[in-house]
Amino acid sequence: MKKPKKILFYLCAFIGVGFLLLQIPFTNIIGSNQSFSLFDFFAPTVGALLTSVWGAVSVIGVKTINALITGQNFDTATIIRLFPLALAALYFGVRKYKTLVAIIPLICMVLFIMHPEGRGAWYYSLYWLIPIVASFAKRSLVLNSLGATFTAHSIGSVAFLYAFSLPTAMWIGLIPIVFLERMLFSGGIAVSYVVMNTIADKVANKLSIQTLKRMVQPEYVASKKLLSNL
């Protein structure tokens, strides 16, 4: 199988898995009729397995296909939801120049504080220092997961702020909720990556698929040595 065909094959496989996970709701998004799903755990990990750019493409593909199949209107909230996870996949997957990707949450901080409603809750945006700090960690699944989920959070928050002018009081009230929510997401991303990595490793070894084997990071395959790499 030639390289373009291989990329297309894995891209379609990830989109298929992602579409199924998108149908399993996790929790509602405050301020909209949208909801988080198990796809929010899985999506960033695709950036590491499929490369960051193709991972981002697959996430947008899943969201777009789901909207078309389920008959969702492409309203403002739906369009906004296309991009946060795509950039989380980009953050999670990129290995070199991660600090450049971490500029995104920094820009989001500035935009949040510039908005009249966001300015009154400026300390809400301090959460987005996490992906900036985490970008300096060379190999840590926990920090990479935290960085990815807060990158998605920064983009989604700013987009909803500018689209709907959600009030200052709401952002302040969300601060403790965000902490619990994002800790769950980061844990889910880390677990998803270990599961996907382990499955990919088993399949690659069983069927001798070299391209799939190259996607695997051996240190994050479920094993006795895994804890030392978290």
Q: Is the alpha carbon torsion for 62, 63, 64, 67 positive or negative?
A: positive
Determine what percent of the chain is predicted with pLDDT higher than 90. 38
Higher pLDDT: 187 or 75? It is 187
Contacting residues for 107 by C-beta, under 8 A, at least 6 apart: none
Residue 164 confidence class, pLDDT cut points 50, 70, 90: very high
Measured over the CA atoms of residue 110, residue 113, residue 39 and residue 218, the dihedral's sign is: positive
> For residue 35, what pLDDT is reported?
67
The pLDDT score that the predictor gives to residue 17 is 86
Question: For the chain, which residues make up each domain, given as ranges?
Answer: 3-229
Report how far residue 184's alpha carbon sits from residue 17's, in angstroms, rounded to the nearest whole number.
21
Residue 27 has pLDDT above 70, yes or no: no
User: Do the beta carbons of residue 192 and residue 18 sit within 8 Å?
Assistant: no
Bridge partners of residue 36, in order along the sequence? 27
How remote is the C-alpha of 90 from its chain's centroid?
8
Whether the predicted pLDDT of 153 surpasses 90: yes
Residue 33 has pLDDT above 70, yes or no: no
Tell me what pLDDT residue 118 has: 97
Position 30 scores a pLDDT of 55
Q: How far apart are CA 7 and CA 5, in angstroms?
A: 5
Tokens of 129: 């220092």
Could you name the CATH architecture of 3-229? Orthogonal Bundle (1.10)
Q: Is the per-residue pLDDT at 108 higher than 80?
A: yes
Q: Is the pLDDT of residue 87 over 70?
A: yes
pLDDT for the residue 137: 80
Handedness of CA 103, 104, 107, 112 (dihedral sign): negative
Between 169 and 36, residue with greater pLDDT: 169
Position 230 scores a pLDDT of 56
Give the tens place of pLDDT for each residue, 51-83: 778 788 888 889 888 888 888 777 777 778 788
Closest CA to 147 of 82, 91, 230, 202: 91
Q: Would you say the C-alpha torsion 76, 77, 80, 82 has a positive or negative sign?
A: negative
Cα–Cα dist 129/116, whole Å:
21
Contacts of 55 by beta carbon, 8 Å cutoff, 6+ apart: 14, 43, 44, 46, 47, 48, 49, 89, 90, 92, 93
pTM score, two decimals? 0.85
Q: What local confidence, expressed as pLDDT, does residue 55 receive?
A: 81
Which whole number is the average pLDDT over 145-169?
95
For residues 218 and 213, what is the distance between their CA atoms, to the nearest angstrom?
9
Supply the DSSP symbol for 38: T
CA torsion angle 167 169 170 171 (round to 10): 90
User: What is the predicted pLDDT for the residue at 128?
Assistant: 97
Q: What is the DSSP string of 10-37?
A: HHHHHHHHHHHHHTSEEEEPTTSS-EEE
Confidence category of residue 159, pLDDT binned at 50, 70, 90: very high
Q: Tell me the pLDDT band of 8, cut-offs 50, 70 and 90.
A: confident
Q: What is the mean pLDDT of residues 141-159?
A: 95
What is the predicted pLDDT for the residue at 5? 66
pLDDT higher than 60, residue 224 = no
Inform me whether the pLDDT recorded for 138 exceeds 80: no
CA 18 to chain centre: 12
